[in-house]
Amino acid sequence: MSHQALSPAEAALRDAALHYHREPKRGKISVTPIKPLSNQIDLSLAYSPGVAYPCLDIQKDPAKAVEYTARGNLVGVITNGTAVLGLGDIGPLAGKPVMEGKGCLFKKFAGIDVFDIELAERDPDKLVDIIAALEPTLGGVNLEDIKAPECFLIERKLRERMNIPVFHDDQHGTAIISSAALLNALELVGKNIWDVEVAVSGAGAAAIACLDVMVALGVQPQHVHACDSKGLIYQGRAAGYDESKARYAHPDTGARTLADVVKGADVFLGCSTGGVLTQDMVKTMADKPVILALANPRPEITPEDAKAARPDCIIATGRSDHPNQVNNVLCFPYIFRGALDCGATKITEEMKLACVREIAALAKVETVAEVAAAYAGQKLSFGPDYIIPTPFDPRLILRIAPAVARAAAQSGVATRPIADLQAYRASLEHYVYQTGMVMRPVYASAKAAPDAVKRVAYAEGEDERVLGAAQIAVDDRLARPILIGRPAVIEQRIAKAGLRIRLGRDVENVDPDNDPRFRQYWETYHRLMARNGLTAETAKAAVRRSNTTIGALMVRLGDADALLCGTHGRFDQHLDHIRDIIGIEPGAPGYATINAIMMPERTLFVTDTYVNEDPGADLLAAIAKMAADEVRNFGVPPKVAFVSHSNFGSSKRASALKVRRARDLFCEQMPGVQCDGEMHGDDALSATLRAQAVPDSTLEGEANLLVCPNLDAANILFNVLKLTVSNGVTVGPILLGTAAPAHVLTRSATVRRLINMTALAVAEAAARGVKMRE
């Protein structure tokens, strides 16, 4: 990527990325205190004089640093900026956004804190000295974007000097994921890893690391034929080669080019440049070839070209828009999670191989309902297009971290071996569903949805927030927006906001004052409402003046796949239009709403926040059932708490008895879902408090779905959380029970919430595949 002229899509991405990094706070990470500091007593404990006591304890026993400080959960993401992504040698300061981004992934996927450290030092020995001196601060080191061959020397020397895990992700992360892909691909094509011939394009840090792991798994070194920018690496090559490549240099056979070594190869490994593997080369490969084309952003060959040349091939790339993405996020958060938790002093080959095997095994395990729901419309079963798990499979941390901890103990590098791995695995569930990554599977599902179900009608098409959301939806290919509103007003506001979308080109426009479908719409509305006192003239007027009515009719008649409304006006008014026109899903008890708030430490869903004022026990149980099903659509197993002023029978008031009865009914209807109640809100989030009240709770850990006794309780709870929780992201209201996707937002909706709801509506439309055309 350079400063050359950008395409419109690239310019849009640039503008969105710059805004993301600048607003509302600069950068992507911060240091946040985790202990109270609200009075003189807190101050005396956090600092002088109380802080002296943990200092003295650590002086006597350095292992106590894990108990008293954040070091045991702190990784340094360290670079000198000499090989940053596809940008090259841009220097440490320019590389800082990448390191902050890596820190976000560590935190979001595995709960690991990060200091990003950018060092203005190019001399490898001096760099080693600086990083090694940071050992008292850090629990682990993730080397990032350091160019080859220096990265090999730096990592090797740091591993020798430091007694904490050191991991160069550019090498080993790619190696672990690609090796897992290789194992599964070879299983599918029926080839033995000991027999395969491997042709390699690229011999930098990532390629050599990949080969080392593959050899450890069984690939024979003499079967590896590696090419760098100067051609095939062979003994005595006039152009020479550095020490890191020597172990894959073989006697001269006369072969010189990539085309020479690809011929007859079973496996192609690419860590080089886009487009270097041609279709003609692929045609010369052995039967059922395995292609790992990992160059980014453009792979060595695209899946389409590879499949066209060899329909029998299995291909993986580094891109998220193709099946079988080799993505390092499948690995690095979880290998560090396991290493930190067992106090590993090194990341050994055994730990890496354990990670490989767990990733490979997970792809062959039956997809859980939550993952399938989150990736609706995508085939997630072991096969040529699914040889490695999706990056957002919540089971990754539950499998990889314990396997890594076990391997560390077996390797003799665990200073705190984990005796009860089953209990450890259960404790890791805390990191799985309680992070800001909950929306990611929804976005993945929306992006993968066919265009035929991506038509989202926005009732308030003139709203600046809606226009901003429509721009992002177009740029990210999340949806095909339909803006309902006056075209002149929309165009004027698009220009004022500096947006690039154009009516008729990027987005559809429905003008309430001039649309050729007006007669069809008002006649349909009249037919639906004639027995409710609606005359033909009133129907005409309603279709002219109510954008929500138009949007609902579009969904009803198949002109749109989903409706978003509610950024202006009263919630109940919008809901009435949806009820009258779209109707209730067959089998649903009626409508209800659920809101989600994604906080740094947990994600909570709250129901019913907007519809049912005081539901009886039967309806409350039915609402909980619809809400639990919706939680599953986020890839999250629902854990339900029926909350009340009463705590397990402490009150006999009617509302307490109602909630208790609703819980009993829900348990009968959904026996496979964890739930309990009636209980206080704090008991819902604390297993310790719950155990003090009842010894046999049917809910484990924290609840993630709070079912409130009435609308007031649910609405107040959600809105207070929304405003008081720092960095919380909200989704909703999500309208449950509709016959087709339709959601009523609120006046406080932001562009971000509109985008979240757009993705959710498209994912819902894809999962339903509902067409309502009469």
d(CA 297, CA 299): 6
With b meaning 16 or more CB within 10 Å and e meaning fewer, what string describes 604-626? bbbbbbbbbeebebebbbbbbbb
Dihedral angle computed from the Cα positions of residues 288, 292, 298 and 302, in that order, rounded to the nearest 10 degrees: 10
Sheet holding 742-744, edge to edge: 508-510, 480-484, 455-458, 562-565, 742-744
Element holding 639 (H helix, E strand)? strand 639-643
Name the amino acid, one letter, at 726: S
Return the active site residues.
Answer: 47, 102
Pairing of strands 231-232, 224-228: antiparallel
Do residues 330 and 394 touch, judged by C-beta distance below 8 A?
no
The β-bridge partners of 562 are 456
Helices (H), 449-566: 464-475, 487-497, 518-529, 536-545, 547-556
The DSSP code sequence of 374-387 is: HTTTS--SSBTTBS
Q: What angle do CA 766, 771, 772 make, to 5 degrees?
A: 140
Q: Tell me the residue length of the chain.
A: 774
The residue assigned the tokens 């600048």 is: 22
Neighbours of 18 (CB within 10 A): 10
CA distances, 258 to each of 198, 200, 254, 575 (Å): 11, 8, 12, 63
What token pair was written down for 190? Answer: 């029926």
586: Cβ contacts below 8 Å, ≥ 6 apart: 739
d(CA 184, CA 199): 18
d(CA 175, CA 212): 8
d(CA 317, CA 313): 13
Do residues 139 and 340 touch, judged by C-beta distance below 8 A?
yes
What token pair was written down for 236? Answer: 């005595």
Name the amino acid, one letter, at 332: F
d(CA 23, CA 751): 13
Closest by alpha carbon to 765, among 744, 745, 738, 731? 738
